[in-house]
Amino acid sequence: MSDLSALETPLSVWKESLRAIRANFRPGLVLWTVAALLVGAYYFVPAAQSTFDVVAGWKAQGGFLYSFAATAVFGGLIPFLLMRILPATRADATGPVFVFMVVVWGYRGVEIDLLYRLQGLMFGNQVTLSVVAPKVAFDLFVYNVVWAAAFQLLTYHWKNHQFRASAFRGFPWKEFWTRRVPVALVSTWVVWFPVVTLVYCLPSNLQIPLFNLAACFWALVVGTLTKVR
């Protein structure tokens, strides 16, 4: 009986991960296409170079302030406005949710900027396989495993419980670490592997702008991964 129970948890995690992947595949496909087109335009469309130079200049001059503001807009404001427009999500688009999305995603922008800078120091900033590959691995299998997945799940759990102080009273921590985090990680790896690969194929001052576009799409589908039951 104990052997069957040991097998049940990994199997249920895998089944739930597949459901989450299927739910996010189409948005992910759009995200991959947009990211690939932008990276392709940077390298192969000379007419677009001036636009990329302007955006890179904004990032270089703005630093962390740019990362906070731009990510707050793309990951927080724009998805919130779409929530207000769509009848199915309009009731959830409240004032506190607006503040939450803008602040949390703005913070995430600074956090991701720090991650990219750290990896630049660790691995370099050249766009080569020997640099891009370890950055992708560190992003997906260290940063996400150690911090990002759990942070996202816990903050959205708090939001989904109306920001109550009692949101974590009786919280199912064992289920959280053995089911919800693994499901979120598998789904994140599948959706984000092509995205982060493309992000690290751009110069450092264009990485946050591309992440911002990805964050806008991700914020629209993140609810399927953050409803801790």
Task: Quote the pLDDT of residue 24.
Answer: 65
What pLDDT score was predicted for residue 61? 97
Could you read off the pLDDT of 112-137 as tens digits, one per residue? 999 999 999 999 999 999 999 999 99
109, 212 contact by CB (below 8 A): yes
pLDDT of residue 219: 81
pLDDT band at 7 (very low <50, low <70, confident <90, very high): very low
Mean pLDDT of the region 144-167: 94
pLDDT score of 81: 92
201 or 190: which carries more pLDDT confidence?
Answer: 201
Query: For residue 218, with 0-12 CB atoms within 10 Å meaning exposed, 13-18 middle and 19 or more buried, which class applies?
Result: buried
Band (229; pLDDT cuts 50, 70, 90): very low
Q: Give percent of the chain above pLDDT 90.
A: 66
Examine the pLDDT at 224 and tell me if it is beyond 60.
Answer: no
What does the DSSP assignment read for 38-49? HHHHHHH-GGGH
Q: Which residues contact 189 (CB under 8 A, 6 or more apart)?
A: 140, 144
CA distances from 1 to 8, 10, 30, 94 (A): 11, 16, 44, 48
pLDDT digits (tens, 9 = 90+) for 173-195: 999 998 889 988 988 888 889 99
| Model pTM score | 0.88
CA-CA-CA-CA torsion sign (182, 143, 54, 99): positive
The average confidence (pLDDT) of the chain is: 88
Does position 108 have pLDDT exceeding 50, yes or no? yes
Q: Is the pLDDT of residue 3 over 50?
A: no
